[in-house]
Structures are given as C-alpha cells and as structure tokens.
Amino acid sequence: MVILNFLYILFCLPVITAGAATSALYYATVRMADGTFNQPLKDFWNGFKDNFRAVTPIWAVALIYGVFLGYLILMNRLGAWGGEPVTWIYIVLGAIAALLILFCDWVFALQMRFENPRRVLLKNAVLFTVRYLPSLLILEAVCITFQLLILSDMPYWIVLLLCGFSLPAYLKGRYFSRNFNKLISVLAPDSLPPKIEEEDEE
C-alpha cells in the first residue's frame, strides 16, 4: 500500500497523467481485491501504460471542467456578482463537482477493467454513475473526509504520504471488484472481456 501510494503521488506530479495514474491505482487495488495481485510496481506500471492513451484525453477535459467550477466557486466567494456570496450557487456547483468526481471514478475503473471504445466507455460511465450513485457517493464522502482530516493537521500529513491515496483506492477497489464480478457473472464473457486475468497456477 505504501509503495502504491508513493507511485501514485509520483505519477500525478505532471497533473496531466493523474487520470492514467488513478486507473493504474484502481488496477492494482482491484487485483488485490480479486486475489490476483502480483507486485506493486509491476501492476501499477501495467495499469498505467495500458490505460494512458484512453484515459488522458478524458481526464484533460474533466480537469478543465474542474478548474472552471473552482473558478466559479472562487468568484462567488469573492462576491464577483455583487453582494454577499450566494449559498445556492455553492450547492449547485458542489453537486456538479460531486457528479464529475463520481463519473471520473467510473471512467477510470471501467477503463482499467474492460476493453471498450471510448464512446462506449463514456456511456457506461454515465449509466454506472446513475445506477450506483448513492452507494459510491457515500464511499467517496468517507474517503474524502479521511483525506481532509489528515490535511487538517500538519503532523498527520505523513499518513497522506504513506497511504492517504492507496487506502481509499483499496476500499473503492473492493467496491468496484464486487460490482464488476456481478456484471461479468450476468453477461456473456465475450460481450465485456475483462482485462484482469487470474495468474496461471504454478
């Protein structure tokens, strides 16, 4: 978990690679949940290079939207539209930001688990976001709260460096693994071939 956390932070430093790094982290943690985990560096790197080209353009667009939402929130806080900050604007923008985070979570998870054209990937991400909105929203809130509590006090920042990203990703990896296994058990194997295959027993 510590190695995965370090790798994730390292690969997120260029910012534009953060989407592929998130898919790689989910790839490794889902393998943990499935019992097919090999080595942290090998699994993370495989997940990164396999998903970089498909995920990066989507992440770039999401990043632009995220920066724009942050700009609107800042402008509202500064009273750019006259008067005091408007509460309902915070609520609307916060809800949009939450949906964007959940959508990206499904994009990264689906991409690392299934082979699909980008159009199908985006459609499935929307469907999964709507279908599993309450449960993943609760899980995401728990993970973000955990990270904010760590950031609230500087002495605890070391926890963020050790497992602040890999631990929440592991919890979400177990969540994704359970739902993906349900999906695979219902659909024909040829319709959505999984990327993760169990290692051959020696």
* Average pLDDT score over residue span 113-120: 86
Say how many domains are in the chain.
1
The DSSP result for 139-167, as a single string, is: HHHHHHHHHHHHHTSGGGHHHHHHHTTHH
Cβ 195 vs Cβ 33: under 8 Å = no
Query: Residue 88: inside a domain, yes or no?
Result: yes
Query: Residue 199: inside a domain, yes or no?
Result: no
Cβ 169 vs Cβ 175: under 8 Å = no
Judge whether residue 199 has pLDDT over 50.
no
Query: Residue 62: inside a domain, yes or no?
Result: yes
Query: Residue 132: inside a domain, yes or no?
Result: yes
Calculate what percentage of the chain has a pLDDT beyond 70.
90
Calculate what percentage of the chain has a pLDDT beyond 90.
52
Query: Residue 26: inside a domain, yes or no?
Result: yes
In tens, the pLDDT along 46-85 reads: 999 999 999 999 999 999 999 998 888 888 888 766 667 7
Using 50, 70 and 90 to split pLDDT, how confident is the model at 5? very high
Judge whether residue 202 has pLDDT over 50.
no
Query: Residue 158: inside a domain, yes or no?
Result: yes
Query: Residue 194: inside a domain, yes or no?
Result: no
Domain that includes residue 77, residue range: 2-185
The DSSP 8-state label assigned to residue 200 in this structure reads P
The DSSP 8-state label assigned to residue 196 in this structure reads -
4-9, long-range: CB < 8 A, 24+ apart:
4/28, 4/29, 4/40, 4/44, 4/166, 4/169, 5/161, 5/162, 5/163, 5/164, 5/165, 5/166, 5/167, 6/161, 7/40, 7/41, 7/44, 8/44, 8/165, 8/166, 8/169, 9/161, 9/165
Query: Residue 22: inside a domain, yes or no?
Result: yes
Using 50, 70 and 90 to split pLDDT, how confident is the model at 192? very low
